[in-house]
């Protein structure tokens, strides 16, 4: 890593952003890699992100983005990767050496890596609660994990139209259902809750789907969520959003340090260990 430019600057942007765990993860990674890079927290709303990106100059290396910026940033970028195009969401901006601003989506990789780490690797059929922006990344991840049918439970099933179209690109049949149908839902290998802020489904959830499924809830704070509690009470497997946060962050580190989400970091196991330790120190 010695050949990399020193003194680079990074930040996580979003609103609200004050409670982000990203800084502690990234700082642990760069310390382990021997890089004297800084990683800041910047409150930012959608109307400010394009001018901010256009104004970036050295020593900026890149940005991590959370809501509500993942779509608003796209017009300000020179190029986005395939996953960002599929999801219409960018959570990582790289200030490339040639001056271009490149956008990536590492949320999908974060979900896939988090689930595979817990032995979830061939889901076949899955259920997705919620049809918002996070559901789009979840659907792409489910396709990568082998899903061929995904039942989408949404308060407004018509909002799943974009997921249906995306499913056609991914060879996944997306079946939209009213969220009330969770009261009669059967078991599937995996249920993904993409409800924001740990919100409850607001309807009865059938014992059959709880008793026969693993739950992945994308939320990590507040925790436990109302949905995860249903699974925990039934002594069923529950995966929080923390592993996703960790794994999407290490892919971001690859992008910032090496310019490539698929390039393996020097001693990546040690980097991942340092990031886990830092997350654990925060109560993760």
| Cα–Cα dist 60/75, whole Å | 19
**Among 247, 251, 205, 246, residue whose Cα is nearest residue 228:** 205
Reply yes or no on whether 70 is catalytic. Answer: yes
Mapping DSSP to helix (H, G, I), strand (E, B) and coil, where does residue 89 land?
coil
Task: Dump the DSSP string for 155-212.
Answer: SSGGGGHHHHHHHHHHT-EEEEEEGGGGGG----SEEEE--GGG---SS---HHHHHT
| Cα–Cα dist 119/32, whole Å | 28
Tokens 């919620």 label which residue? 130
Identify the active-site residue in 8, 21, 61, 70: 70
Give the residue numbers marked as catalytic.
Answer: 70
């Amino acid at each position: 890593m010695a050949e990399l430019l020193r003194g680079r600057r990074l930040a996580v942007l979003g609103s609200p952003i004050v409670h982000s765990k990203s800084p502690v993860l990234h700082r642990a990674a760069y310390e382990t890699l021997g890089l004297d890079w800084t990683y800041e927290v910047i409150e930012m709303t959608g109307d400010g992100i394009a001018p901010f990106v256009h104004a970036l100059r050295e020593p900026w290396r890149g940005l991590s983005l959370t809501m509500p910026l993942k779509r608003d940033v796209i017009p300000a970028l020179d190029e986005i990767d395939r996953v960002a195009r599929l999801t219409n969401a960018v959570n990582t901006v790289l200030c490339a050496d040639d001056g271009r601003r490149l956008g990536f989506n590492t949320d999908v990789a974060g979900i896939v890596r988090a689930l595979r780490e817990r032995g979830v690797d061939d889901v076949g059929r899955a259920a997705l609660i919620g049809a918002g922006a996070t559901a789009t990344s979840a659907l792409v991840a489910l396709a990568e994990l082998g899903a061929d049918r995904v039942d989408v439970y949404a308060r407004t099933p018509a909002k799943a139209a974009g997921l249906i179209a995306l499913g056609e690109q991914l060879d996944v049949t997306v079946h939209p259902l009213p969220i009330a149908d969770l009261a009669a839902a059967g078991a599937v290998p995996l249920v993904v809750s993409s409800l924001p802020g740990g919100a409850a489904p607001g309807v009865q959830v059938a014992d059959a789907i709880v008793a026969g499924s693993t739950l992945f809830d994308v939320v990590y704070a507040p925790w436990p969520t109302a949905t995860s509690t249903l699974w925990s009470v039934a002594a069923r497997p529950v995966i929080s959003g923390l592993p996703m946060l960790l794994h999407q962050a290490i892919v971001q580190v690859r992008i910032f340090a090496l310019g490539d989400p698929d390039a393996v970091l020097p001693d990546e196991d040690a980097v991942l260990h340092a990031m886990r330790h830092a997350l654990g120190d925060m109560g993760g």
